[in-house]
Structure 1
Amino acid sequence: MTNKVQIYLGLGGNIANELGDPTSHILAVRDTLNTDERFCDVVLSSLYASKPFGVTDQPDFVNAVLSAKTALDPMSLLNFCQDLEQGAGRVRLRRWGERSLDVDILLYGDDVIHNDRLTVPHSGIFERNFVLVPLLELNDKLMISGQKIRELALAHEMDGLTKLANNSN
């Protein structure tokens, strides 16, 4: 694979369906990327339970962050992520609502992207410890929009988070 770019994907879910529960959906994403030749160096963070963000009248979430390298361009990666969500039976009922699987592109190299389908870095990345804590776990030297992740207070804040499991990749 040539011209690989480092990506970070935010993974989460809070409802089970006939295809599995949130944990199994997250692990399936890791397994899919591990077997897809368009991706390499796939690493999944620990799994974390978190309280819902935005809309709170729903079950707690299971969250993780996955890092990998890919030659896919950003829009192809977005389509791939949406295919993963559909494969897990995701139905979009309301913004920030219940879902079997959510796959967000958090970072795509150092690129800044803003169009009607994709914003990178992810627009809520600095507001969500369920994203920053696992990002810090994966790469404590990571820079996001010129800021060192290890210097972001929220990256060390476990309030509302429970570490569920370490993952062997």
Structure 2
Amino acid sequence: MANVFLALGSNRGDSWGYLTEALKRINRLPGTEIVAFSPVYFTFPYGVTEQAEFLNMVVRVETILKPLELLDEVKNIEKETGRQQRARWHEREIDIDILLYDDLEFHHPRLNIPHAELLKRDFFILPLLDIESGIKDPVSGIFLRYLEITKRKPYIKGLSKKFFELKNGLICLNEP
């Protein structure tokens, strides 16, 4: 089984609902199980700044799916969950990105692993570190926790008190 980190984000409509539905669908993928959740972060938009703030998080999954199979599955989940196609970096109902897949370096016209923007986005790195503090960039070998962006946090606005967890095989959204 492969150890994979997926980033999820939403800033349009019922973002909590979109995240919940996407997580449920990810957990139902063939040979795939969510094994860890990061906290949910409130973040400023990246790229196009004149839009609502995002909810962002990362999950760690174990899967038998190969990288392109997993990409097809998460793109299908985005579509089934209600994502509408818009220009790059514009608002979205749900966005799911493959950040890391084991220690694999994979380059294909449809997919780059690690994610091409991984080291530039604190809303990818900080949730990753919440799950696994000793994680390294597979290309450079640098521990992500030592990157300058983890100290500056240009896109992180704050943490949500709501959190996701797995209870008896079900995805649950909890509020303290």
On whether the aligned pair clears a TM of 0.5, the verdict is: yes
Quickly say closer, same or farther: Cα 1:41–1:58, change in 2 above 3 A: closer
8 Å contact from structure 1 (residues 30, 42) kept in 2 = no
8 Å contact from structure 2 (residues 3, 60) kept in 1 = yes
- Name 1:100's counterpart in structure 2: 93
Is residue 2:132 matched to residue 1:139? Answer: yes
Unaligned 5+ segments in structure 1 are: none
Is residue 2:53 matched to residue 1:40? Answer: no
Aligned partners of 1:80 and 1:155: how far apart in 2?
A: 30
User: Greater shift after overlay, 103-112 or 143-152?
Assistant: 143-152
- Name 2:51's counterpart in structure 1: 58
Aligned partners of 1:108 and 1:56: how far apart in 2?
A: 29
Aligned partners of 1:112 and 1:42: how far apart in 2?
A: 22
User: Greater shift after overlay, 4-13 or 84-93?
Assistant: 84-93
Runs of 4+ off more than 6 Å:
none
- Name 1:154's counterpart in structure 2: 149
Deviation at 1:41, TM superposition (A): 4.6
Q: Give the structure-2-normalised TM-score.
A: 0.85
Q: Percent identity?
A: 30
- Name 1:30's counterpart in structure 2: 23
8 Å contact from structure 1 (residues 8, 65) kept in 2 = yes
Aligned partners of 1:94 and 1:135: how far apart in 2?
A: 26
Is residue 2:3 matched to residue 1:6? Answer: yes
Aligned partners of 2:148 and 2:53: how far apart in 1?
A: 23
Q: CA RMSD in A?
A: 1.5
- Name 2:113's counterpart in structure 1: 120
Unaligned 5+ segments in structure 2 are: 167-176
